[in-house]
Structure 1
Amino acid sequence: MTAEAASSAIPVPPAHLRTRVTGVEDEGMFQFFGRRISGEIRALFDTAGLPFGAPGQKILDFGCGCARVLRHVMPEADQARFHGVDVDVQAIDWCRVHLADSAEFTVTGRRPPLPFDDASIDVVYGVSVFSHIPEDDQRAWLAEFTRVLTPGGILLLSVNGAAVARMATTPVREQLGTEGIAYVHDGGIPGLPDWYQMCFHTREHVEQNWPTARLRIMSYTENAIMMCQDAVLLRKAGGDREEIR
């Protein structure tokens, strides 16, 4: 079954849940962006020569919402094991009802832990999550991803980089220029916690602050997600391939 056919068999979530992840109620936009992002994730893995959805892989959608992306990776779900986590209780409840045969879903808190054993997840991807949370929370999650990833495991995160920052206010751009990161209260998103706001990163800040002894950046690709967000691909040390650039 193709990804499009598999997705069309899944009910569309209600308007208020679609709005939380897409910004608009429009069903067509919800489907379009979910389909596009799933394709962009596959392309990033293909370009890096990495498997996505291989038999036996355990994959986590961090901040899955109402499965905007997950609904479009159903072909991979036939052979890989998918999990979704989010702070949005309503979204997780909806996913548990409508995608229970394809993935397991769990409500998480603002900060770790995740409900997984050490070194038990092969791939973690988080689309437009670090673009909304404070830096202290980001640090906590990077450490937690390092804990749950298998040796050689892959982490893919998107951030608001230069393309999105160009549309920010002058004070935000100035803060970004001096600090490399700017977390801004922009009113938030109805239905989500008040700490879920807007965050911008410079490439230099990510490259200087995210790597650790166990987590290395493989690539930084500008405008790779949703035509505007930058994609950061990282690998945990260990496994068969340790060469990380």
Structure 2
Amino acid sequence: MSLNQTIRRYVPSVSMLTYRSWFRWLSRLADFLPKVVWREFRSLPPNELRARVGVGNRIFTNQVMHIRQGYDFWLHAAAHGWFDFTSDIVEIGVGCGRRAFHMRDFRLSDSTFTGTYLGIDIDSELLSWCRANFDDRFDFVQSTHASASYINDGASDGYYRVPRDDASVDFFLGTSVLTHLLEPELRNYLEEGARVLRPGRTLAMTCFAVDYAPSTMGDRHSFRHRVGNAYVESLAQPEAAVAYDASFLCQVALESGFADARIMHHPADVQHILVCTR
């Protein structure tokens, strides 16, 4: 068994560690010198928030990864025509704004993002940071879903309805959200994505598909347990890492109201992308 597997057996998800006071102290100490040296890092969220949302499994040296992940995603999305800078966007699992800040800061000549951006998350601390650091083009609301991997002080049972009208959204995205959802929440968010998207518009959410083993398979991930249709890493904390068959993900998307669905397979990446067209 590798060191990574051993650590994951006892700590299925780093996210819960980031709520601990000792982790906050250590992570901010590690963040101090880089922020002094590189001004580009000074506007980033605190290190414990970056680690909570995930930065390539890096806990203390993740600044460049945090910036680069979002940059690469938006280039990919723009190349496929999923959005433009006037789009109405919804992001599930907005976290501390690792995707959203690229829209906030985009400026090319006199061109800026003039659309609307709704960020949804279950973690009130992450949302509070976003509200304090984004302008009024952006709105941040709390989902009522509960999670074993993240603290939600507003959790309740039942279906979550995205606060947008039917057919009012151009792009619906989520990063490392489906990778933490069991089937009821998976269906909920895909149904809501289909409801709020305008006809012909796109949902793109990263996922673990067991048909395409992630680059971490056999080291960090095994997905050896089953919970219904889900493959999970830990029965004690099943939402720490969740995978599905690609065909099942596409089937649920079609049942949710999408016209088509496919898995965009990236062999070098840990996660792939479920792409659905309304």
Same fold by TM-score, threshold 0.5 exceeded? yes
Max Rg structure = 2
Aligned positions, number? 215
Correspondence 1:114 to 2:165? no
RMSD (Å) for aligned C-alpha atoms? 2.9
- TM-score for both structures, normalised by structure 1: 0.75
Match for residue 201 of structure 1 among 241, 244, 247: 244
Maintained 8 Å contact 1:30/1:68:
no
Q: How far apart, CA to CA, are the structure 2 residues paired with 1:131 and 1:170?
A: 11
Distance 1:114 1:197, change over 3 A: same
- Kept after mapping to 1: 8 A contact 2:222/2:233: no
Matched residues in 2 for 1:234 and 1:197: separation?
24
Identity of aligned residues (%): 21
Task: Show the counterpart of 1:191.
Answer: none
2:122 is the counterpart of 1:72: no
Q: Name the residue aligned to 1:223.
A: 266
Query: Which of 202, 213, 231 is the matching residue for 1:163?
Result: 213
Aligned-pair CA distance for 1:199: 0.4
Greater relative CO, 1 or 2 (CA 8 Å, sep 6+): 1
Quick check: 1:134 aligned with 2:174?
A: no
Gaps of 5+ in 2: 1-38, 146-158
**Secondary structure of the corresponding residue to residue 190 of structure 2:** helix
Name the residue aligned to 2:122. Answer: 87
Corresponding residue SS for 2:135: coil
TM-score (structure 2 length as normaliser):
0.67
Note the C-alpha offset of 1:197: 2.3
1:103-145 Cα distance to aligned partner (Å, 9 max, x none): 1111111151112122221111001100011111101111111
Amino acid at match of 2:72: G
Q: Deviations over 1:161-196 (max 9, x none)?
A: 222373333733xx59xx7631343665xxxxxx74
Higher share in strand: 1
Residue identity in the other structure for 1:145: G
State the partner residue of 1:183. 232
Shift of 1:17: 1.1
Which digits, 9 at most, give the CA deviation of each residue in 1:135-156, with x for residues without a partner?
A: 1110111111111112222100
Gaps of 5+ in 1: 1-6, 189-194, 237-245
